[in-house]
Amino acid sequence: MRTLSKLCVAVALAAAAQTSASADAAGVKVVLQVSEGTKQAKLALYMAKRDLELDPRARVEIVAYGAGVQFLQNDTLFSDEGPKVAALAAQGVVFKVCENSLRASALGPGDLLPRVKVVPSGTLEIARLQREGYAYIRP
């Protein structure tokens, strides 16, 4: 019985080590929340760029809702951010916008920069990503 217990513990430890090694090989997963104004949006873009410089394997998603949807519009005060968004998207950063917030702002998918995905709820998307192992960051 003791041998069986020791074997079970050894198998569990080996599985945990393999899971940890797989996560390290895939890179860190980060979700950045943008729900405020210009300052937060610009900081999120900077953080995403910097994260990819430090770990090119990192998986970064930026989820915008509330006032945060404005920086992903294709014709806003944030128009200078469009090229930064495009460059980060080309590097694999995923940009998502809350559909509820779009409706509340009288906006639609056609008002967004290219490569921005619409999700039903920004907060639920962040929760879903956390469940998938993403670290939640609110700049």
Domains of the chain, first to last:
27-137 (3.40.1260.10)
> What distance in Å separates the CA atoms of residue 2 and residue 59, rounded to the nearest whole number?
43
Residue closest to 95 by CA, chosen among 124, 64, 67, 133: 64
The total of other beta-carbon atoms located within 10 Å of residue 62's CB is: 28
pTM beyond 0.95: the answer is no
Q: Which tokens hold the place of 101? A: 């917030």
29-66: pLDDT as tens digits: 999 999 998 899 999 999 999 999 999 999 999 999 99
Residue closest to 133 by CA, chosen among 12, 18, 13, 27: 27
Q: Is 27 left (phi over 0), alpha (psi -120 to 50) or beta?
A: left
61-105: pLDDT as tens digits: 999 999 999 889 987 655 678 889 999 999 999 999 999 999 999
